[in-house]
Each structure stands twice: as structure tokens, then as C-alpha cells.
């Protein structure tokens, strides 16, 4: 199910990462690695639950300014294609149960690129209003920033 | 991802159907067959879209009392395990996009039974209030009635 982004409803970002796909995949799929780049620094991230298969739980928390860890993502994986694609949504929680606070579905794709890996996120909303809210909340800064952190993390360590 | 139903949040039904699993599966997965039993008679059903794979669209319409066909289900398939399980949700629409009107996820399972097939539905809600609303809307009559129609349809035709 690859569909073109709908400019009225979706937000997208992409970045070239100078590391092989397998390295980027590992930085995403291993909770201790994901914690290193998943929230914008200097905030810190904890992965509470990460069951990387369709219907599996995906729960992260964030600590900002040294404060307590508070809810960040409470979502459900929808599709997991080794080395190439991860789809998750916060409209569902573990076991595909409908969520209280539903907002988006994200399709993350990794593809080969002459310089390493093209990392892309396609984030879908139910309405133009939700898309606009996400944009105003800082989608481009937020997702762009953490993709930059991911790039630095894997470019240093692989 | 098989989880036990949560009695606070879920509704379930099950029925023995005197036909092989393959026959029941065909009655579910073939749109022209699904239309024969998917809504309580004498209402009529039209399958508008049925792309039976994860992320695929599932859209049906209903006509009651001879009136126009109106929206019935607008959902997205989440998991499709040939001959044994279909998971769909109306919290998402085609391509996993968040839906405007989110309510439930349904897990349909077919299992072997000495008399033929055990047909079961496990319907998950986000809250006890949604579960109660679904029960009061006639879950047991509705899902029970159409499972009975499914049974009669496949028991006659297989």
C-alpha cells in the first residue's frame, strides 16, 4: 500500500543519511538505539514498549528540561517490512485497539541512495485542520531535527 | 497479535457454521458473496471497495426499506491471514489514513470445528462508553443476525 502523499492532508520529509540501510534500520528497530535520536535534544526519550510487528505496541516517553518522563507516542505498528518500511499509527494502540487520542499515521521508508540511505517520512492526517495543526506544532523542525540526529548517530557509529 | 477480549471494552460473538473453512472464507472475501449476507435482511448491501490486504480499503453501503444506498462501513483492512483471520478498523480508511469517524476494530477468526467452522468476531472499542453504545445499537442482534445469514448462505451453497 504505497500511495502518493495528499498535499491537503499530509506532511512529508526526507533526508539522505550516509550509512547503509541496515545501519539505519537497526537505529530504528533497536529500542536502546532509538532512544538516542527519537526526540529533539536536549530532551530525553525512553522506549516503554516496542513490539515491532503488525498490531504491536509502540510507546515512548519524553523528558524535557530534566523533568519527569511524560507520554510522547502511544501507537500501534501496522506494517513492518525488514530494512525498508515501518508504518505506525496513534489512532490505534496495542493489538489494534482504537485509541482515545487519534491523530496520525506515519509511513517511514528507507531506500538505497548512492550516498547511503534515503530516509523518508510520510505522515497522514484525517483532515486539513489536523495537518495544519501538526505543521504549526513544528512538524518540519521536529521530524527534520530528529532525522538529523538519526543521521549523526548512525554516521558516527556504523 | 491474538489478545484476550477485555470485557470492559470489547464485544464478541461466535457461531458454528456447517461448512468448511474455505467456503466460509470465500463467502467473506468475494464481494459478490459478501453482499449476500453482510447486512441484516431485508436491507441490501453493496460492496464499494474491498482490497483484502493490510492497508486496503473496505467500503460497504446499505439500503434499507428500498431506499438509496447510504454509507455503512468505511474501513481499512489491517491483517489478512488466508482462511483464518481478517482484521479491519474504521479508525482508518484506505492506505491507513486516520478516519473522521473512528469507532471500532474487528477481528474475525475462522477455526476448524467438528461440525465445520467456528466463526468468531472480537470487536474492540476505545472506551466502555463506546462498547455500551455499540451494545445498545444492537451488536448482538446485528452481528448475530448476519452470522446466521452467512451460515445459511454457505450451508446452502457449498
Q: pLDDT tens, A9-52?
A: 999 999 999 999 999 999 999 999 999 999 999 999 999 999 99
Q: Which residues of B touch A53 (CB under 8 A)?
A: 1
pLDDT at A4: 85
What distance in Å separates the CA atoms of residue B98 and residue B101, rounded to the nearest whole number? Answer: 9
- Contact B97/A124, CB-based, under 8 Å? yes
Percent of chain B with pLDDT over 70: 97
pLDDT at A141: 87
H helix runs in chain A, sequence order: 21-29, 31-34, 128-136, 139-157
Question: pLDDT of B117-136, one tens digit each?
Answer: 999 999 999 999 999 999 99
**Closest alpha carbon within chain B to A123:** B97
Mean pLDDT rounded to a whole number for chain B: 95
Distance from CA of B136 to the nearest CA of A (A): 19
Distance from CA of B97 to the nearest CA of A (A): 6
Tell me the mean pLDDT in the region B42-52: 97
- Contact B96/A1, CB-based, under 8 Å? yes
Q: Which residues of B touch A3 (CB under 8 A)?
A: 94-95
Distance from CA of A1 to the nearest CA of B (A): 6
Give me the half-sphere count of Cα atoms (radius 13 Å) on the Cβ side of residue B133.
Answer: 9
| Residue A158 banded pLDDT, cuts 50, 70, 90 | low
Taking 3-state DSSP, the helix, strand and coil percentages for chain A, each rounded to the nearest 5, stand at 30, 40, 30
Q: Which of A132, A22, A124 is nearest to A78 (CA)?
A: A124
Statement: residue B2 has pLDDT above 60:
no
Statement: residue A157 has pLDDT above 90:
no
Q: Which residues of A touch B94 (CB under 8 A)?
A: 3
Tell me the mean pLDDT in the region B25-36: 97
Tell me the mean pLDDT in the region B59-69: 96
Contact residues for A13 (Cβ-Cβ < 8 A; gap 6+): A120, A121, A139, A140, A143, A144, A147
- Contact B92/A92, CB-based, under 8 Å? yes
Highest mean pLDDT among A80-84, A153-157, B101-105: A80-84
Q: Is residue A17 exposed (0-12), middle (13-18) or buried (19+ Cβ within 10 Å)? A: buried
Between residues A58 and A102, which one has the greater pLDDT? A58
- Give the distance from CA A46 to its chain's centroid: 14
| Residue B101 banded pLDDT, cuts 50, 70, 90 | confident
Question: pLDDT of A110-119, one tens digit each?
Answer: 999 999 999 9
Statement: residue A3 has pLDDT above 90:
no
ipTM, interface predicted TM-score of the complex: 0.93
What distance in Å separates the CA atoms of residue B156 and residue B62, rounded to the nearest whole number? Answer: 24
* Three-state secondary structure call for residue B35: coil
Statement: residue B84 has pLDDT above 60:
yes
Q: Which of B154, B94, B91 is nearest to B124 (CA)?
A: B91
Q: How many CB atoms lie within 10 A of CB B81?
A: 10
Rg of chain B, C-alpha, whole Å: 15
According to DSSP, residue A74 is labeled E
Q: What is the reported pTM? A: 0.95
Q: Which residues of B touch A98 (CB under 8 A)?
A: 89, 91, 102-105, 124-126, 130
Place of cell 538519526: A150
Amino acid at each position: 500500500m504505497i500511495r502518493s502523499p495528499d498535499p491537503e492532508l499530509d506532511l512529508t520529509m526526507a533526508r539522505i543519511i550516509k550509512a547503509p540501510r541496515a545501519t539505519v534500520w537497526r537505529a530504528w528497530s533497536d529500542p536502546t538505539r532509538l532512544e538516542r535520536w527519537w526526540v529533539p535534544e536536549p530532551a530525553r526519550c525512553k522506549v516503554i514498549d516496542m513490539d515491532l510487528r503488525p498490531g504491536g505496541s509502540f510507546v515512548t516517553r519524553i523528558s524535557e528540561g530534566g523533568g519527569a518522563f511524560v507520554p510522547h507516542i502511544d501507537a500501534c505498528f501496522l506494517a513492518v517490512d525488514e530494512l525498508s518500511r515501518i508504518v505506525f499509527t496513534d489512532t490505534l494502540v496495542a493489538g489494534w485497539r482504537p485509541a482515545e487520542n487519534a491523530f496520525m499515521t506515519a509511513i517511514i521508508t528507507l531506500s538505497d541512495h548512492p550516498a547511503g540511505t534515503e530516509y523518508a517520512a510520510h505522515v497522514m492526517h484525517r483532515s486539513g485542520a489536523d495537518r495544519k495543526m501538526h505543521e504549526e506544532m513544528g512538524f518540519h523542525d521536529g521530524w527534520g531535527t530528529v532525522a538529523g540526529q538519526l543521521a549523526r548517530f548512525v554516521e558516527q557509529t556504523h
